[in-house]
Structure 1
Amino acid sequence: MRDALVDAVRLRLAEAGAAPGATEVAAALRAQGHPYGSTEVVELVRRLRSEMVGAGPLDPLLADPAVTDVLVNGPDEVWMDRGGGLERATGVRFADRQAVRRLAQRLATAAGRRLDDARPWTDARLPDGTRLHAVLPPVAVGCTHISLRVSRARPFTLPELVRAGSLPESGALLLRAMVRARLSYVVSGGTGTGKTTLLAALLGLAGPAERLVVVEDSAELRPDHPHVVRLEGRSPNQEGAGHVGLRELVRQALRIRPDRLVIGEVRGAEVAEFLAALNTGHEGGCGTVHANAAADVPARLEALASSAGLDRAALHSQLASALDAVVHLVREADGRRRVAEVALLRRGEGGLVGTEPAARFLPGGEVRRGSGWERLVAMCGRAERWAAS
């Protein structure tokens, strides 16, 4: 259906203050001198409604349960990820660059965020849980860029991740034992490796009587657990007031009796409060952090702690007794996400904390035990099934 006709009908409906219903659309078509049949009317109603209340041309992609990410680089350049890496979404396009900009601004408004020339980017959560990031020109060269991270209505379970090839059965038993033993850990990996997915699955293994307090900059974690309290950061308003950061939220979380403190992503000064909490009796705390390898996590946390005023010695002193383990994820060349390693944290010479490999999971499902395996077994308890395997 021609974009000019769609625009003409949209304008007529707007002038009349009419909703895009079948009767109104049919009348608008007749007024344009185009006698269309019922099939064309239904298609136009669907298209107009999606542009006004949905995600426009992106709706079919977001409705696909296999799609995890949708990226818009231009009117006719839309990409998606269905678990096998990025691929071009053929047949999906916008009328022009202004249509992309309008969609980005409407989605930002739906998320309660500002997106205009004075504030040309936004990072927000849509009402259905989808993560939105959008950047307007001239910061985005050429056209508005939209990135959507789709939120599943139901989180993956650990058995489902095993069936998907993300980790072997013995690896799932190991992670289950770590959760039951209330070890404190971080899930590390690069962007798009599935850190939030795995963390949500692990949180679902916590005891039903435990109270999980989840702190996030943009709420994404939806663990399948009966007692979850979620705290979400807030961006400043147009006057620059009202900002609520993760550091303050972590402090508040400690006052509402968490059995497990969870930080969706540790990426700033809140690392100081997080480590302090884990050092004051809050066992079983966890979160995610961006890192290229498990061995890089101490250095990554050290860099984040500098923004909180913690020097190197203070950070490593807290880290040594706060965190027990790192669960590291990778993404293969074919797009498949998998758990690659479980490493323990250990203080070395000079007081600096490093990692010690405990278990490596190879692509074919083989598990190789590292030098930290026996210590991990002792921390989790030798009665666990996986310890005898």
Structure 2
Amino acid sequence: MAMIHATPPHGQGLVVDLLDQHVREQVRREGVDPQRDTQLVRRIAESVVREHDERSLTGQVVPVADPGAMVGELVARVAGYGPLQAFLDDPSVEEVWINDPSRVFVARNGRHELTNLMLTQDQVDELVERMLKSSGRRIDLSQPFVDAMLPDGHRLHVVLQGISRGFSAVNIRKFVLRATRVGDLVELGSLSARAASFLDASVRAGLNILVAGGTQAGKTTLLNCLAAAIPGGERVVSAEEVFELRFPHPDWVPMQTRQAGLEGTGEIRLRDLVKESLRMRPSRVIVGEVRAEECLDLLLALNSGLPGMCTLHANSAREALVKMCTLPLLAGENISARFVVPTVAASVDLVVHLGVDQHGVRRVNEIVGVPGRVENDIIETEPIFERRGGELRRTRGMPPRVESFERAGIDVHRLLSEDAG
């Protein structure tokens, strides 16, 4: 396969550089924000290419081989993300990452592919600068890591050269909305219809749900679907590192963290947001991903009777509970396991664990109830659904707090019975 470079052949390369300059001049002259008004940039590009084509008839300039492709290239350069834009526009691509300018990878259906795109170091630096400009976040020697959200909802992560050897490492995790309700996950093959009905009912009943799994297992997608089942009369407050949650709700306040400024002040941590959310009269609190000491503040909120949900990296439901018992210890020496373990047992009602199978399909592997009992510092669990032989099957376990289902008008016994759909 021939290598595809980020610049066209020599003759067309000179043409695209010239037209790129003309488009940028007109964008500046008209005061257009290229990140926010892509359609206007496209109209300007079409006008510039059309004028160039008319001049080419007189022999003054080299004609454009493919006007439509040239317009797309100009829009990608000025308003998009240049040579990466084609991957970002491709619905089959889930993630793009750059290990060095000559090694650009994409993920499709959970599988990694080395592309034939060749960049330069200057192009990578320019792309990162352009992406961060729209996010309001920065990266420099004092702040060599950055997490940011791009306008289309894609998540950007950059590790600066010096921390990563040789070149800056760039990851773009695309926001691909394939499911908005738990019922959509049934169609995608992620869980069974009965499990979907049970999770929907559990949210309406106000159970505290921990969504666990590995990287790219679909945790945020499932959390979005669960959040969409929250009754409209409740007030939702969410806290995240960067905005990733997107679900329909009439009374929802989403919050994200903030980097420290150039003076080293003004940082807003996830723990700060969890504490702040409790002062905002929430009916539900959602934490996008629990990673550190903010776990303690979430536990205290859940233990006080405030329903909530969060995600967590873990390899199983059991490991997720162990991690929930470990993370609060990072909050300080005065926090002991004797306090944390029974608090987790009393605060978490359900653990939903997801994984990716050998075909790259994201699936719910188990749904586990936490009845609140602790034996020898081990939290007891009760499996409700387990994946066996490739199918998510109902077990004999029952969820805790059955009375919560009854108050919501839900017959959970009938919902989970063999006769239920």
Q: Same fold (TM over 0.5)?
A: yes
Match of 1:251 among 275, 285, 291: 275
Equivalent residue number for residue 146 of structure 1: 170
Q: Distance in 2 between matches of 1:157 and 1:85?
A: 25
* Contact 1:233–1:244 (CA under 8 A) maintained in structure 2: yes
3-state secondary structure, aligned to 1:373:
coil
Which of 334, 337, 348 matches 1:323? Answer: 348
Unaligned runs of at least 5 residues, structure 2: 1-7, 28-44
| Matching residue of 2:309 | 286
2:251 corresponds in structure 1 to 227
Q: 1:73·1:143 contact (CA, 8 Å) conserved in 2?
A: yes
Listed as ranges, the gaps of 5+ residues in structure 1 are none
Does 1:335 pair with 2:360?
Answer: yes
Partner of 1:120: 144
Q: 1:311 to 1:5 in 2, by over 3 A?
A: farther
Instruction: Choose which of 238, 241, 262 in structure 2 pairs with 1:238.
Output: 262
With 345-354 and 128-137 compared, the bigger mean Cα shift is at: 345-354
- Match of 2:9? 2
Residues 23 and 48, structure 2, Cα contact 8 Å, conserved in 1: no
Secondary structure of 2:124's match?
Answer: helix
Alignment-mate amino acid for residue 297 of structure 1: A
- Could you tell me which residue of structure 1 aligns to residue 36 of structure 2? none
Task: Note the alpha carbon deviations across 1:321-378, whole angstroms, 9 max, x for none.
Answer: 21111111111122111001011224322354343322213353240415x3375767
Separation in 1, partners of 2:336, 2:384: 28
Counterparts of 2:341 and 2:317 in 1: how far apart (Å)?
A: 16
Cα distance change on mapping 1:149 and 1:95 into 2, 3 Å: closer
Equivalent-residue separation in structure 1 for 2:119 and 2:26 (angstroms): 21
Work out whether residues 295 and 354 of structure 1, in 8 Å CA contact, stay in contact via their aligned partners in 2: no
Match of 2:416 in 1: 387
Q: Cα distance, 1:178 vs. partner? A: 1.2
Say if 2:101 and 2:121, in contact at 8 Å, map to a contact too.
Answer: yes
> One-letter code of the match for 1:347?
R
What is the CA–CA distance in structure 2 between the aligned matches of 1:388 and 1:15, rounded to whole Å?
A: 68
Q: How many residues align?
A: 383
Q: How far apart, CA to CA, are the structure 1 residues paired with 2:348 and 2:384?
A: 15
Residue 41 of structure 1 deviates from its aligned partner by 5.0
Change (3 A) 1:162 1:6: same
1:65 partner letter: P
SS of the counterpart of 2:376?
helix
Question: Identity, % of aligned pairs?
Answer: 34
Assess, with a 3 A threshold, how the Cα gap between structure 1 residues 349 and 7 changes in structure 2: closer, same or farther. Answer: farther
**Equivalence for 2:203:** 179
Q: Which residue identity lines up with residue 415 of structure 2 in the other structure?
A: W
Residues 228-276 of structure 1: per-residue CA shift (max 9 Å, x gap): 2101111111221110011111111111111111001011111111111
d(CA) in 2 for partners of 1:378 and 1:94?
A: 60
Q: Is 1:189 matched with 2:189?
A: no
User: What TM-score, normalized to structure 1?
Assistant: 0.88
TM-score between both structures, scaled by the size of structure 2? 0.82
Shift of 1:67: 2.7
